Chains A and B, each alone.
Chain A
Amino acid sequence: MSGHLTITHAGPALSLQDMGRSGYRAQGLTVGGAADRIALYEGAALLGQKPDLAVIEMAGSGGTFTADVDIRIALTGAQMVAKVEGEQIVWNASHLLPAGAKLEIGGARDGSYGYLHVGGGFDTPVVMDARSSHLAGGIGALLQTGERLALGVDKGRDVALTVPPLDRFGGGKVRLVASMQTDNFSAETIARFTKTVFRRDARANRMGVRMAFDGEGFATADQLSIVSEVVVPGDIQISGDGAPYVLMYECQTTGGYPRIGSVLPCDLPRVAQAQTGANLTFEFVEMDEAVALQNRYLAEIKALASKVAPLVRDPAAIRDLLGYQLISGAVSARTDPLKMEED
């Protein structure tokens, strides 16, 4: 059955996202879409549906939501405190949201972007082959309090499933390959760049993430005379003040600042999810290794569906056990609600 999800209170930066739009680069529009693509795959695995359905991306914090029919939801990406009718529910899991029940999602604790998926996806109007908002490009807008989003037809039934999230939270090492302008930087500058421990700056959005650091900037000798050239998500642009910006899926199609390298797509979710102040370092890899890392990542994405397992609840923490649909064999005495069965 289809229905609507109403946003009864919208956090500051909610938007509808999906895998974005391809094919418009020549006309000045980059792909856009979810900042953390892995979250889309995890949500799809949890709900047993395609990863290209529209979801709500929640930057920093969530909001409150109510559906007018019983729906299945899944929560992925940065962990946020989520409650249904005041009862805390588990992140990285699927749940039933009964018609009229209040879903509250709070602030992000270990990352930047949380995702709310619904069974069947959102059935909002398609603009240029996709439902995602491209905020920088002028397609769609941030979701507002009071908005009512049409739900797609949900063919699935399973809920109370969980999936172990792929490792990408809290910053860490980010791999990149040399790109077309890496040679414009001196070997010294590159060496210093790879030794520097950067901090994810507060200046960050769906277009790019600034890297804060101590010490001198990372300019090239001919910083200002570079002819404007193609930009791809993952490119690390050195801006006028010498600070690196990792460009994200909503970046511009071309740019005149030199690029020191390009982050592998498999590591871009790590950049997206690093919370303000998290440490990040950059390591160049050769193309062969990049190919191997990308393929390993794709294999991990493919394997997600096989990692989905029944959510194990602690019966002691469940106030009204009879109110739950118990999946046989899924109940154990484990106390950590985040733990999941391994088989």
Chain B
Amino acid sequence: MTDWPKIRSVGVSGVLVTFAGAMSEPANRAALAFRAAVEAQDWPEVRETSTSLVSTYLEVDLAVTPLAAMTERLTNLLESRDWQSADLPPGRTLWHVPTVYGTDLAPQLEEAAAVAGVDVDAAVAEISASRVRVLTIGFAPGQPYMGELSKTWDIPRQQGLTKSVPAGALIIAIRQLIVFTNAAPTGWRHIGQTAFGTFLPKSERPFTLAPGDELTFPAISREEFDRIKSKDTSGLGGASREALS
């Protein structure tokens, strides 16, 4: 028996199934697939489920449902297959999000490229052609952590914090991208700017993305960005979508 996956209680509020001790693509895939499998079980004790980078979380009132009972069921479900090679859950979406790289809108493109050891044109060419997956959503409502980029982009967070990057900022570190939901401080580098709203509380579909969705960030000019922004009424900043099967 290996250390992973691990089943642990989270306070008296729930149970966490963790597939690895550090972020990896297979462990993230396992967490997403296992969450879908738990949802399919439709256990009445489970109030809601979610994923973090490498874990599936089940909210269960452990004062009502004994931990041992949940552990037994989860162990059986875990043993039913190899979750690291599981298919991703169905019903996912591929998004294309128009992005301005660099300019005054995203002032840390040059710095990020220098830390990664590539020139700016190569950086934009690679990132704008990369297809990334929503590994998890968190920190702010609807805010995606996306990856994994190539090893070139295994760059650390900057030492200090940027006081504030705006909503829609595309930021980078540790082979991942984030689009910020709200203006906030960050230690990640601001390389692109989108007008892509990830949390629209007053709309019928308040959360734009779900874990497992995939995205590309095609490069557009500053002029094109301004044009999209002035015309956009959806809050999605000119993004287009297609269903993934």
- Please, which residue of chain B has its CB at the minimum distance from the CB of A290? B12
Chain B residues with CB under 8 Å of A139's CB are: 141, 201
**Contact between A177 and B53 (Cβ–Cβ < 8 Å)?**
no
Number of interface residues of A (CB under 8 A): 39
Query: Residue of B at shortest CB range from A254?
Result: B138
A-B contact pairs, 22 of them (CB 8 A): A22-B47, A23-B47, A24-B141, A27-B137, A28-B139, A29-B142, A127-B202, A138-B140, A138-B199, A138-B201, A179-B11, A228-B138, A230-B14, A230-B55, A253-B137, A253-B139, A262-B13, A265-B11, A265-B13, A291-B12, A291-B63, A294-B12
- Bound-state CA distance A252–B140 (Å) is 7
Which residues from B are CB-within-8-Å of A227? 21-23, 52-54
Q: Beyond A23-B48, A234-B11, list 6 extra A-B contacts (CB 8 Å).
A: A26-B51, A180-B18, A228-B138, A232-B11, A263-B11, A290-B63
Q: Does A235 contact B (CB under 8 A)?
A: yes
From residue A30, how far is it (CB to closest CB) to chain B in Å?
A: 9
Given contacts A253-B50, A290-B63, contact A28 B16 (CB under 8 A): no
A interface vs B, CB < 8 Å?
22-29, 127-128, 134, 137-139, 176-177, 179-180, 227-230, 232-235, 252-254, 262-265, 287, 290-291, 294-295, 298
Count, A-B residue pairs, CB within 8 A: 135
A287–B50 touching, CB < 8 Å: no
Interface: B62 (CB within 8 A): yes
Contact of A254 with B52 in the complex, beta carbons under 8 Å: yes
Number of residues on chain B facing chain A (CB within 8 A)? 46
A25 and B16 CA atoms in complex are apart in Å by: 14
Which chain B residues lie closer than 8 Å to A137 at the CB level? 140-141, 199
Known interface pairs A227-B54, A228-B52; A233-B201 also in contact (CB < 8 Å): no
Which residues of B sit under 8 angstroms from A254, Cβ to Cβ? Answer: 52, 136, 138-139
Q: Which A-chain residue is minimally distant from B61 (CB atoms)?
A: A294
Chain B residues with CB under 8 Å of A25's CB are 48, 50, 57, 59
Let me know if B201 and A128 touch, CB within 8 A.
yes
**Chain A hits for B22, CB < 8 A:** 227
